[in-house]
A and B are shown apart, each in its own frame.
Chain A
Amino acid sequence: MDQPTTQVLLIEDNPGDADLVRLRLIEGKSPVNVNCVNRLSDGLASLSLETPSVVLLDLNLPDSRGAETFRRVMEHSPNVPVVVLSGQDDEILASKALHQGVQDYLVKGDISSKHLERAIRYAVERQGLLRALEITQKQQLEFKNQFLSHVSHELRTPLTCIHQYVSLLLDGLAGNMLPEQTDHLKTILKSVNQLHAMIRDLLEATRAEGGKMRIEARCVALPDLIRQAVAMLRPTADEKKIGLEIGMDSRLPLVLADPDRVLEVLINLIDNAIKFTPAEGSIVVKANMVQADVSSVYISVTDTGRGISPEAKSLIFERLYQDPDSVDNNRSGLGLGLFICREIIRLHEGRIWVSSELGQGSTFSFTLPVYSLAKLLAPIVVHEGHLRPAFVLVRIDLTPLSNPPRGNWKESWQQCLETLRRCVYLDKDLVLPPMGSAGATETFFVVASTDLQRSGVMTTRIRAQLERVGDLKSKCRVTVTTIPVDLAPTPAGTTMDQQVDTLAELVTQMILINSERTHSKTEPTRRKLN
């Protein structure tokens, strides 16, 4: 019978040992092909080129010693079985090796060819089983996710029907309702909405768990988002006679964040606060900077509710956690909300935590990274050790002709952004990351190293190029405005970093002032069940 040839990579620096092992291998009954190298680096290089059936590994090599040797081999090729060939009979090292996934630990002096042959065969076999197990686990996770996705779809269909008919009745489209009937229907609708939220959370948590949750970070003015979240929850708070206040630093920096996702976190935290705060209580949403950490904005939601026990505090962000005290008087959902919040903030590279004492209320806080314009600007505005002489801020607004915008609005403005990037000089102009806007108007900014007089060439080019973007003209109005950046002369002794910081600060202020003006006017619209 034709047996497949076993490909052995032998990493061994002692020529005598190498010859011995080779001899033992060749003596065996099954066909074998031995490739011998005497350094770990050569071994890893060989592994990059081709995958052997097994690696026979001496631990003490010229370029690596001890446990480090097998750790590096397995890190490089986790799917190839590794058999350690050691000079000494070291039980502790052997057990460590096996714990870390080495298939066998053989002592050179004890090896017979029969023994070695069998050790290799079993190592290959075991590694194959492990691999199969891993694949099965992955498939199971995938299956679970598909199943949940399917279930959530199937649950939505009857839920939609209930929702439709309850709204028909509530809207008086099937005749007038008595006040008491209307009341009952509103209770049904509330439960339908809860059920809907649970289905959504279920899907979202599944996504987070499978590493499929995505964020699209943009340059965001946080005050808009906070106001939007508070405005959405104001009616719920009013209903319970709970005060809902905002306290923000007047000069908050922009953050690098996904506005939709951050809004989701804010809504979740404020909604929770309302849920756990008794009537006449109060909630404050704050956003501020902390002196010790200038690279983050701190956002917090503080309530005067009953607080959280120390045991609960450590578990509250875990999946499926539920407050044991809330089950009887409040339906608290699936216990996925805070888990989803944590995952969203984690993807932003921020932190989320809670501080609370029983009976004293709670504060949920999270951080978002400050969007650092200085870091982005530095390579553009500094030329041969000097700050360039003049800058302008070019502002491009895309105002949709209809609300909601026609067709795929996101795709349209992304196309514009791409076009803009092609309109500027890469070494002296910078198209800023898009601003997260609450309204329908999409605004882009370009910092250009030129003066107002000469910027006309650029704006003309931008206008001309944008006109050519697909069917943009039929969808929105494009306006291009240029604003000079009035940078005060720098006092002697300011470092280049400080100059860039000053410029970035100035540009940021200009952007904030400019975007406040337009976006605060437009009332946010969001898909929400009523």
Chain B
Amino acid sequence: MSKSKILVVDDDPDLVRALRLRLRANNYEVSTASDGYSAIASAQKERPALIILDLGLPVGDGFVVLDRLQNSDTLAGVPVIVLSARDPQANEERALRAGAAAFFQKPADNDELMNVIRISLGPGTEAKAAWPS
């Protein structure tokens, strides 16, 4: 079976590198983007199976990205896991409403993050099912 591809979107290159190492070690293929605009471009080009998304991003923040993804015919079904340093009280609800599958506040527990990624990718077709808006 081919590896699932995950797009990591974060403007902190150090964090991106660490996530890439960990995701590769967990047998995922990884592509990255560091701002909102390239996140969308990348998602369209690479067709990832899952996206890990920061909220505070240059050139279109995480919510803009979520909105674009939801309104895209081809990308609306891709699960998005938000990984942000922002206060969950103000942002978790909003992110989930905007279509995110899960919200993690930084620093997140890696085991749990990997677990949610695994579940979100699901067995077979589950990851492609329509995600609630």
A463: interface (CB < 8 Å): no
B18: interface (CB < 8 Å): yes
Contact between chains at B87 and A164 (CB < 8 Å): no
Contact between chains at B119 and A153 (CB < 8 Å): no
Contact between chains at A474 and B22 (CB < 8 Å): no
Chain A interface size, as a band, is 35 or more
CA distance A161 to B54 in the complex (A): 14
B97: interface (CB < 8 Å): yes
A residues 484-530 touching B (CB-CB < 8 Å) = 525, 527-530
Q: Kindly list chain A residues whose C-beta atoms are within 8 Å of the C-beta of B97.
A: 408, 411
Q: Kindly list chain B residues whose C-beta atoms are within 8 Å of the C-beta of A76.
A: none
A157-B111 contact in complex given A149-B87, A168-B18, A471-B132, C-beta closer than 8 Å: no
Contact between chains at B132 and A406 (CB < 8 Å): yes
CA distance A411 to B99 in the complex (A): 13
Contact between chains at B110 and A160 (CB < 8 Å): no
B25: interface (CB < 8 Å): yes
Contact between chains at B107 and A164 (CB < 8 Å): yes
Q: Kindly list chain B residues whose C-beta atoms are within 8 Å of the C-beta of A171.
A: 22, 25, 110
Contact between chains at A404 and B109 (CB < 8 Å): no
B93: interface (CB < 8 Å): yes
Contact between chains at A157 and B85 (CB < 8 Å): yes
CA distance A466 to B19 in the complex (A): 41
Q: Kindly list chain A residues whose C-beta atoms are within 8 Å of the C-beta of B19.
A: 164
Contact between chains at B132 and A156 (CB < 8 Å): no
Taking CB as reference atom, which chain A residue is nearest B131?
Answer: A407
Q: Kindly list chain B residues whose C-beta atoms are within 8 Å of the C-beta of A530.
A: 109-111
Contact between chains at B129 and A156 (CB < 8 Å): no
A159: interface (CB < 8 Å): yes
Q: Kindly list chain B residues whose C-beta atoms are within 8 Å of the C-beta of A149.
A: 87
Q: Kindly list chain B residues whose C-beta atoms are within 8 Å of the C-beta of A156.
A: 85, 105-107
Min CB distance B47 to A, Å, is: 21
Interface size on B, residues (CB 8 A): 34
Q: From B14, B21, B108, B119, give the contact of A402 (CB < 8 A).
A: B119
Contact between chains at A407 and B109 (CB < 8 Å): no
CA distance A288 to B85 in the complex (A): 40
Q: From A153, A164, A406, A529, give the contact of B86 (CB < 8 A).
A: A153
B 37-77 to A, binary, CB cutoff 8 A, 1 in contact else 0? 00000000000000000001000000000000000000000
Min CB distance B35 to A, Å, is: 16
CA distance A431 to B67 in the complex (A): 36
B 94-133 to A, binary, CB cutoff 8 A, 1 in contact else 0? 0011000110111111111000100100100010010110
Taking CB as reference atom, which chain B residue is nearest A170?
Answer: B110
Contact between chains at B132 and A404 (CB < 8 Å): no
Taking CB as reference atom, which chain A residue is nearest B86?
Answer: A153
Contact between chains at A404 and B102 (CB < 8 Å): yes
A143: interface (CB < 8 Å): no
Taking CB as reference atom, which chain A residue is nearest B104?
Answer: A527
Min CB distance B84 to A, Å, is: 9
Taking CB as reference atom, which chain B residue is nearest A167?
Answer: B110
Q: Kindly list chain A residues whose C-beta atoms are within 8 Å of the C-beta of B132.
A: 406-408, 470-471, 474-475
Q: Kindly list chain A residues whose C-beta atoms are within 8 Å of the C-beta of B96.
A: 407-408, 411
Min CB distance A529 to B, Å, is: 5
A61: interface (CB < 8 Å): no
Q: Kindly list chain B residues whose C-beta atoms are within 8 Å of the C-beta of A406.
A: 101, 131-132
Q: From B14, B25, B109, B126, give the contact of A527 (CB < 8 A).
A: B109
CA distance A470 to B122 in the complex (A): 22
Taking CB as reference atom, which chain B residue is nearest A149?
Answer: B87
CA distance A412 to B45 in the complex (A): 33
Q: Kindly list chain B residues whose C-beta atoms are within 8 Å of the C-beta of A353.
A: none
CA distance A407 to B93 in the complex (A): 10
CA distance A171 to B18 in the complex (A): 12
A161-B119 contact in complex given A156-B85, A173-B21, A192-B107, C-beta closer than 8 Å: no
Q: Kindly list chain B residues whose C-beta atoms are within 8 Å of the C-beta of A403.
A: 119
A residues 174-228 touching B (CB-CB < 8 Å) = 174, 192, 196, 203, 207
Contact between chains at A160 and B85 (CB < 8 Å): yes
CA distance A301 to B14 in the complex (A): 43
Taking CB as reference atom, which chain A residue is nearest B126?
Answer: A402
B 1-32 to A, binary, CB cutoff 8 A, 1 in contact else 0? 00000000000101100110110010000000
Count chain A CB atoms within 10 A of each CB in B25, B107, B131 and give the residue with the most: B107
Q: From B25, B93, B109, B126, give the contact of A529 (CB < 8 A).
A: B109
A 23-51 to B, binary, CB cutoff 8 A, 1 in contact else 0? 00000000000000000000000000000
Contact between chains at B107 and A168 (CB < 8 Å): no
Contact between chains at B87 and A404 (CB < 8 Å): no
CA distance A402 to B118 in the complex (A): 11
Contact between chains at B119 and A404 (CB < 8 Å): yes
Q: Kindly list chain B residues whose C-beta atoms are within 8 Å of the C-beta of A342.
A: none
Contact between chains at B12 and A161 (CB < 8 Å): yes
Min CB distance B106 to A, Å, is: 4
Contact between chains at B21 and A161 (CB < 8 Å): no
Q: From A157, A411, A474, give the contact of B12 (CB < 8 A).
A: A157
A122: interface (CB < 8 Å): no
A163: interface (CB < 8 Å): yes
Q: Kindly list chain A residues whose C-beta atoms are within 8 Å of the C-beta of B108.
A: 160, 527
Q: Kindly list chain A residues whose C-beta atoms are within 8 Å of the C-beta of B104.
A: 527
A165: interface (CB < 8 Å): yes
Please name 20 pairs of A and B residues whose Cβ atoms are closer than 8 Å in the assembled complex, sorted by A: A153-B56, A154-B85, A159-B107, A161-B12, A164-B107, A164-B110, A165-B14, A168-B18, A173-B21, A173-B22, A403-B119, A404-B116, A408-B96, A408-B97, A408-B132, A474-B129, A525-B112, A527-B104, A529-B109, A530-B110
Question: A: which residues have CB within 8 A of B?
Answer: 149, 152-154, 156-157, 159-161, 163-165, 167-168, 171, 173-174, 192, 196, 203, 207, 402-404, 406-408, 411, 470-471, 474-475, 525, 527-530
| Cβ-closest 10 pairs across A and B | A407-B132, A164-B18, A156-B85, A163-B107, A160-B106, A160-B107, A408-B96, A173-B25, A153-B85, A161-B14
> Can you name 11 extra interface pairs (CB under 8 A) apart from A157-B106, A163-B107, A165-B18?
A149-B87, A152-B87, A153-B86, A160-B108, A161-B15, A171-B110, A173-B22, A192-B107, A404-B119, A527-B104, A527-B109
